[in-house]
Structure 1
Amino acid sequence: MTDPRDSDPEAAGEQSASRRGRFGRWRDQAVALGWLVLVWNLLWGRISWANLASGLLVGSAVLVFFPLPAVTFGGRLRPRALLVFGGRFVVELVSASLHVARIAVQPGYRPRGAIIAVTLRVGTDLNLALTAEAVTLVPGTLILEVDRASATLYLHVLDTHRPADLDAARERTLALERRIVRAVGSAAELRRIDNPPVEKGTSP
């Protein structure tokens, strides 16, 4: 006996779309859990089996009891770019930690902070969340507010004495966004990062 859906292309298409939708939701949950485990280990300062296990438990509890709005993952993981992101992030983490430590122990030195706005080039919820998390983990910078509508991050930056220091902080944030998009972004997002639109009145 044949299934009526076998002769109904529309029903078969709906069933296939439903399967893809369920797979997409599970994939998005797995990606979110992976990032939560990574952030958990970074907050503890080292990666160990105990931190991985506790990170899985905490991340699973967060996703179950505090569900976030659905965030669609339309990109793909690129292992080489992911390694580049991880390596550069560790270097920036160590460098910023040493800089903050020097400020803390330098007699008579009074650092000057500033608040800056950085508009990201990829305004997806996932990119906003990943970039904001990565920026906050680096000592000396802190996310104060995220404007989702305009994809703008408002940062408090430590030890800024010249306009060049503010420009450097913006460039570091945009470079961090670029490495994240190259690691997990879609092809369209990569084009947006690598070929930013030219503003009117400026030459390419």
Structure 2
Amino acid sequence: MSVFSFGIGVKAEGVANLDVKENVKWEKRPYFGISNKESEGYDRDFSIYFEADVRGVITHADISKSSGFQAIDEKVIQMFKKARTKPYEIDGITHPITVTQPFSYKASRKVQFETKPKIIVKTSLLLNDARTVGIYSEADENGNIIKPEIYKSSSVSELDEYVLSEYKRQTKFKPLSINGQSIPITDLSWFYFSEKVNSRN
């Protein structure tokens, strides 16, 4: 899930022939998380135009530059209608404002498992101590593991070899496509083992 970020130096222009050159101040910011599924894995820049009355209530909102996805545009408009600006004042007098607000959306680059490994080891491999194994891996464009290696050893070579073998056998990632292009998949996973956690006799 990714979150939209506000553009820098957003300007507000008051109605009634006001020429206001200040950043918008928010009483309740618009917040909307967008998933990669909704954006189809694409980054987007877009803008929304809105009007707020003297109390800061959003009275009108519309897309001035589309994200290219109608469902996202509609979601943004609805979230803006729930937002509220701080009343804009000049010399103690509040004024309604009109604003064109740019946004930059970045699709999530977070790697997700299609099959997450569940590794259980024999208690005897722990040698009477809790152990942690870190595994760094790379996957192909289909999410298949192609390069797993020990990032942090448990200090027990037999345990490391078993965990690495099981990780390679069990793990698969979901393909990651951003802006229509497959991007490299890398991951660092940690596994903790003790007599009571992730172990068996």
TM-score band w.r.t. shorter chain:
under 0.3
TM-score by length of 2: 0.23
Q: Normalized per residue, which structure has more helix?
A: 1
More strand by share: 2
TM-score scaled to structure 1, two decimals? 0.22
Q: Which has the larger radius of gyration?
A: 2
